[in-house]
Amino acid sequence: MLSRRLLIAALAVLAQLPAQTAAPASSAPKTLRVLFIGNSYTYGNNLPRLLEAVAGAEKAGPRIEAEAVLRGGQSLKGHWEEGKALEAIRRGGWDVVCLQEHSLLGNPPAPGAKPAVNDPAAYFEYAAKFAAEIAAAGARPVLYATWAREDFPEQQRRLDDAFMRVAREIRAAVVPVGLAWTITRIEAPDIRLYTPDRSHPTQAGSYLAALLFYQTITGQAPVGTPAVISGTPWNSQENVRLVNLTLSDALSLRMYAARAWEQEPLNQWPAP
């Protein structure tokens, strides 16, 4: 097996090669409109903006315009009852709607208690309700398959089982971010994906998620994503570096994202 260093070097060389095909200069790339519904795992490092940046760096792929209805700690049940997400979906004009459940599939643990994955029944129920609204609006659903807490990697299998079951039921694609995190933690434990709370994503973690969202939505592997991306944090006007990675880490994360996507059986949509 090639070492990580050799793989990174090979990717760096490939990234410098010209694309085999290019869109005619006169044809503007299609713009996809994407709506995110979720919580802090989505607004941390402004994942919707990172997805736009990934798309903007691809010469031949579609552009992406992303909006979001986000609230810290919120579940799909909470979003449904609050109503703002439904209003956004029914406004229409979306190509894709991304659904993110609470990271434990329900209520957070009591202070000091061990985080535990909740019964997914409410997730199944409200994902199906949202999927019906998404279909009525002429859009397609995707499921944000998130990661287990850092100290409880054994919980990833239960999370993934819930994501797969829901995806099959509502005919959604899966964005296998949790799988990509697992691969990265094994292959490159020096790349920190968790913030100190051992739950939320670092810049590297959100970067990895953005790469996978782009590939799942478009069917194309991103090849031009820069290692440094500037923009505004969620609900802020201050311009900052949303992602500031080394080229080596960025290339590694691109490789791990591609591997996770290839291994996920429920991500195969027709290209838009």
Residue 24 pLDDT > 90:
no
Average pLDDT over residues 164-190: 96
- Angle 164-169-172 (CA atoms, 0-180°, nearest 5)? 70
Q: Which residue has the higher pLDDT, 68 or 14?
A: 68
Q: Which of 257, 114, 115 is nearest to 182 (CA)?
A: 257
Cβ-count burial of 248 within 10 angstroms (0-12 exposed, 13-18 middle, 19+ buried)? middle
Residue 26 pLDDT > 60:
no
Q: Considering the chain, what percentage of its residues have pLDDT values greater than 90?
A: 79
Residue with tokens 């959100």: 206
DSSP class per residue in 117-175: PPPTHHHHHHHHHHHHHHHHTT-EEEEE-----TT-GGGHHHHHHHHHHHHHHHT-EEE
Give the type of residue at 34.
V
Residue with tokens 């979001």: 68
Average pLDDT over residues 42-68: 96
pLDDT given at position 28:
52
Q: Which of 105, 232, 214, 109 is nearest to 161 (CA)?
A: 105
pLDDT given at position 23:
35
Average pLDDT over residues 80-85: 98
Give the type of residue at 147.
W
| Domain 29-108+117-263: CATH superfamily, name plus number | SGNH hydrolase (3.40.50.1110)
Mean pLDDT of the chain: 89
pLDDT given at position 236:
85
The β-bridge partners of 29 are none
Answer yes or no: are the C-beta atoms of 36 and 47 closer than 8 Å. Answer: yes
Q: What is the pTM of this model?
A: 0.88
pLDDT given at position 108:
83
Name residues whose C-beta falls within 8 Å of residue 194's C-beta, 6 or more positions apart in sequence: 150, 200, 201, 202, 205
Can you state the angle between helices 247-263 and 203-218, rounded to 10 degrees?
40
Beta strand 96-99 with 173-175: parallel, antiparallel or unpaired?
unpaired
Cα distances (Å, whole numbers) of residue 143 to 119, 123, 139, 202: 18, 11, 13, 21
Digit-coded pLDDT (tens) for 122-137: 999 999 999 999 999 9
